[in-house]
Amino acid sequence: MNIVMLTNTYTPHVGGVARSVEAFTAEYRRRGHRVLVVAPEFASQPQDETDVVRIPAIQNFNGSDFSAVLPVSGLLTEALDAFRPDLVHSHHPYLLGMTALRVARYRKLPLVFTHHTLYEQYTHYVPGDSPGFRRFVIELATRYANLCDQVFAPSESIAALLRERGVEAPVAVVPTGVNVERFARGDGPGFRRRMGIPGNAFVAGHLGRLAPEKNLVFLAEAVVSFLKTAPRAHFLLVGKGSSEADMRAIFERAGLSERMHVAGNLEPPQLADAYHAMDVFVFASKSETQGMVLTEAMAACVPVVGLDAPGVREVVKDRRNGRLLHEETAEAFASALQWVAGLPCPKRQELKQCARATAEDFSMPCSADTALACYEVLRARTLADRTAEDAQWERVLHLIKAEWDILKGLADAAGAVFGGSQPQDGGLR
């Protein structure tokens, strides 16, 4: 099967969507499928990429680490003609997501959309952020999903939320699978030595993009509360982003800077080494659709302490593979870390083994099987409908209809929010 993936973020950008697209692409190719990735240009991107089309983009949009692409499908015509796609998979409703809709309609191909993100949690990156604008992006994402043939939700929580918001297209739960083998082995002691962490320390660790929507100020305050009660404990932070300075300031004010170790962005196999240097993974984000780092940590036999939220509650089972907290206070979080640190060795080993078993349930082969089965159903349906090659004028009509649907979706979303009708926002009014 020839699959086109259109995404606004891709390597070398560090983030969940980029890593998801990369992981599924690698698994599909391993199984013999061809995948063409359409993505924006990024600084320091690889020079030689196979089956990747880069679209000109504005770098570091509004001070973020994202690239803002221009949704110009005409740039892709030659590449798509040569690739002969069977299916189009969009990973965003905006920018290249709109290009994906145009391409699918013009070529009469099935369109799949993965709802990776709670977009209303990211509107602070756009000038003019407001409650009205947040409702607008919810409306727009919902209407985009209803223009697709199939929607993938990364977790049961998100699938339920999408249906509540008015998504009527078929929704399948397809989490991004973890490469269990990649994270099962790592040099934790060596990584600790390189970072200056004592070998006998109890290490609470976090890995990810260090951005405001990840609730990292709260996380830092909670970890500081724990460190004050545990002289042998240290904090390992992996990643980069604007929230790093705030986190460092919290540790500095508490006089604990020497027990905070910041590794920056890492590439495999250093990522696996970092996980294996941790005794517990800490996670406070409430903006996730799926916590990919949670299953990666568990593949390294690291239990997780996290707040109850979409994408977290599906993975973390309280007192079985970590702690799932319903109370968002630094005291409750610190107490959960004390619970993990105070477990006798046999009980902590049980926690670690249960974490590893959870990672197996979220393995990439399982997720790819689900996604490819959906692809095959859509492809068979499309082939059955295609009785003859479209005449050129008919294909142009499909493109015009796609443009009309895009404009109508924008107008309807704006009207629903600003014109007084009830927004389809799943109770976030």
- For position 293, which CATH number holds? 3.40.50.2000
425 located within any domain: no
Based on the fold, state whether residues 323 and 407 are members of the same structural domain. no
Give pLDDT, residue 335: 98
129: left (phi over 0), alpha (psi -120 to 50) or beta: beta
**The pLDDT of residue 126:** 55
The bridge status of strand 68-69 relative to strand 57-58 is antiparallel
202 and 136 inside one domain = no
**Which domain-ending residue is among 342, 361, 380?**
361
Q: Is a pLDDT exceeding 70 seen at residue 174?
A: yes
Residue 321 sits in the same domain as residue 227: yes
Q: Is pLDDT at 208 greater than 90 in this prediction?
A: yes
Q: Once rounded to an integer, what is the mean pLDDT over residues 349-366?
A: 96
Beta strands 304-307 and 322-325 are parallel
Instruction: Say if residue 285 is in the same domain as residue 337.
Output: yes
More confident residue, 71 or 149: 149
Task: pLDDT band for 288, please (50, 70, 90 cuts).
Answer: confident
Report the 10 Å Cβ neighbour count for 170.
Answer: 14
Q: Assess whether 154 and 251 both reside in one domain.
A: no
DSSP-based three-state secondary structure for 193: helix
Last residue within a domain, chosen from 318, 345, 361: 361
DSSP state at residue 4: E
Domain-located, residue 348: yes
Specify whether the CB–CB gap between 178 and 260 falls below 8 A.
Answer: no
Mean pLDDT of 253-259: 98
pLDDT of residue 48: 84
Q: Can you say whether the dihedral through the CA atoms of 18, 119, 39, 154 is positive or negative?
A: positive
Number of domains the chain is built from: 2
* pLDDT of res. 156: 94
pLDDT at 3 over 80: yes
* 205 lies in the same domain as 301: yes
* Confidence at residue 331, expressed as pLDDT on a 0 to 100 scale: 98
User: Which residue's structure tokens are 């197996």?
Assistant: 360
Question: Do 76 and 198 lie in a common domain?
Answer: no
Q: How confident is the model at residue 393 (pLDDT cuts 50, 70, 90)?
A: very low
pLDDT at 192: 98
Pair 212, 355 in one domain: yes
pTM assigned to the model: 0.78
In this predicted structure, what is the pLDDT of residue 392?
46
pLDDT (average), residues 365-382:
94
Domain assignment present for 302:
yes
Mean pLDDT of 217-228: 98
Domain assignment present for residue 110? The answer is yes
Q: How far apart are CA 247 and CA 22, in angstroms?
A: 29
Is the peptide bond preceding residue 269 cis, with omega within 30 degrees of 0? yes
Full residue range of the structural domain in which residue 69 is found: 2-177+364-418
Q: What's residue 426's pLDDT?
A: 42
Q: Model confidence over 56-88: pLDDT tens digits?
A: 865 544 444 445 555 555 668 899 999 999 999
Let me know whether 308 and 338 are in one domain.
Answer: yes
Q: 327 and 230 in one domain?
A: yes
Tell whether 423 is covered by a domain: no
Position 141 in a domain: yes
- Same domain? For 122 and 228 the reply is no
What pLDDT score does 387 carry? 42
55/154 same-domain check: yes
Q: Of 331, 346, 361, which residue constitutes the final position of a domain?
A: 361
Q: Is the pLDDT of residue 135 over 60?
A: yes
Query: Is 30 within the bounds of a domain?
Result: yes
How high is the pLDDT of residue 112?
98
Does residue 323 carry a pLDDT above 70?
A: yes
Q: What is the mean pLDDT of residues 297-316?
A: 96
Looking at per-residue confidence, does 61 or 242 come out higher? 242
In-domain check, residue 40: yes
Strand order in the sheet with 111-114: 52-55, 34-40, 2-6, 87-90, 111-114, 150-153, 171-173
Amino acid at 359: A
Q: What is the pLDDT of residue 343?
A: 98
